[in-house]
Amino acid sequence: MKRFVFVVGNSRSGTTMMAHMLGGHPHVFTFNELHFFEQLWTPEDEARRPSKTEAERLAARLLCIQRDGYLNQKDPGRFSGEARELVTATRAELPTSPEVFELFLHYETTKNGKAIPCDHTPRNVFYIDEILGLYPEARIINIVRDPRDVLLSQKRKWRRRLQDKNIPVREAFRSWVNYHPITISKLWVASVRAAERFAGNVRVHSVRFEDLLADPEGVTHKICEFIDITPDTGVLEVPQVGSSSEPDRPEQRGVNRERAGSWRKGGLNPTEVFLCQKIAGGLMKRHGYELVSTHRNLLRLSYSVVSFPVKLALAFLLNLRRMRRVVETIGRRL
């Protein structure tokens, strides 16, 4: 059996940083966010064997996402020849969709001279049960971050995307629509609860982002032991990229400890902090996040309540194409 690593958690919780750290290990290859579960697979696909054409299309789509990037996918048909070889080269029987995904992961990992694939799609936190069932050798690393920092990062995300010439403008608009303190706080609660169901599972390891920043060497050492790989100093040479608050500095390597508690330096108004703590307070305390006293502004609070259903409806429409089965996707987050 071959090992897999899945880094999961709420969006903007440090999953990308963790993936970059693991990618610095000589044995681990980190993929782009692949969004296989939820967008390219449903539970009904688990045992169904697709046709040869369907299997090749799935493989080509995965290759396209990895090579072009999730937000800049072009024509998957460019990879049809490679996909055909990937699907048919190692077996006589056509693979199921999860098997196509597995073949793709190891094909691309081997192609890059490494042995262990790492997918860091955050929303896979809602598919932990399926991942553990489909892949007996899978190890899952769940990242938890202070929801107030998550809120701040999500709030600034659209500006970051607008400045990035490699990201379509529509994605900046979608990020702006997606942000609302109530929505983001509820999603944080849903993702943390989804991971908590597996708190006693030996194949699931949860890490607080703040603990990783405070003791990167100690935390990554435990993660390497969890994955069953030899600890390596290369994991600490992480490029400082991906922050919504600061420009990318890929030439600077190492863990930026100042990313913890960024919300305390400004960027969120007291009403946003109040709403976040009101919605997520119980889970925040359980995970060691201290609540602060804050005074809500009645005008801002009223605006937040009134604007919530409007932004929620717009976000639903703009994210429809990212959900293969709408009812199931929403149900996993409730």
Q: Specify the pLDDT at position 229.
A: 94
CA distance 64 to 55: 14
H helix intervals, the chain: 15-23, 36-39, 52-68, 80-88, 97-111, 128-134, 147-163, 169-178, 181-196, 209-214, 216-227, 270-286, 298-318, 326-333
Q: Specify the pLDDT at position 191.
A: 96
The residues, ordered by sequence, that sit 6+ positions from 106 with a Cβ below 8 Å of its Cβ are 2, 117
Cβ–Cβ < 8 Å for 165, 256 = no
**Predicted TM-score (pTM) of this structure:** 0.92
Q: Specify the pLDDT at position 73.
A: 85
What residue ranges in the chain does DSSP mark as E strands? 4-9, 28-30, 116-119, 138-144, 204-208, 239-240, 249-253
| pLDDT tens track, the chain, 334 positions | 478 999 999 999 999 999 999 999 999 999 999 999 988 988 877 777 888 899 999 999 999 999 998 888 889 999 999 999 888 876 667 888 999 999 999 999 999 999 999 999 999 999 999 999 999 999 999 999 999 999 999 999 888 787 777 778 888 888 988 999 999 999 999 999 999 999 999 999 999 999 999 999 999 999 999 999 999 988 998 887 767 666 667 777 888 888 888 999 999 999 999 999 999 999 999 999 999 998 888 999 999 999 999 999 998 888 877 776 666 667 777 6
Q: Specify the pLDDT at position 257.
A: 81
User: Which domains can be identified in the chain, with CATH numbers?
Assistant: 4-27+115-333 (3.40.50.300)
Handedness of CA 167, 241, 111, 129 (dihedral sign): negative
Q: Which residues sit opposite 224 in a β-bridge?
A: none
Q: Pull the structure tokens for residue 175.
A: 């990020």
Chain-centre distance for alpha carbon 192: 13
Q: 104: closest CA among 73, 135, 149?
A: 135
Cβ–Cβ < 8 Å for 192, 144 = yes
Q: Specify the pLDDT at position 334.
A: 61
At residue 8, φ and ψ (nearest 5 deg) are -130, 170
Q: Specify the pLDDT at position 144.
A: 97
Cβ–Cβ < 8 Å for 114, 31 = no
Kindly give the interhelix angle for 181-196 and 298-318, rounded to the nearest 10 degrees: 70
Cβ–Cβ < 8 Å for 126, 38 = yes
Q: Pull the structure tokens for residue 232.
A: 């390596």
Q: Specify the pLDDT at position 326.
A: 65
Q: Pull the structure tokens for residue 213.
A: 């920043």
- CA distances (Å), 236 to each of 13, 136, 149, 230, in order? 18, 28, 22, 14
The HSE-up count of residue 228 (CA atoms within 13 Å, CB side) is 12
Q: 120: closest CA among 101, 142, 100?
A: 142
Strand 249-253, strand 239-240: pairing = antiparallel
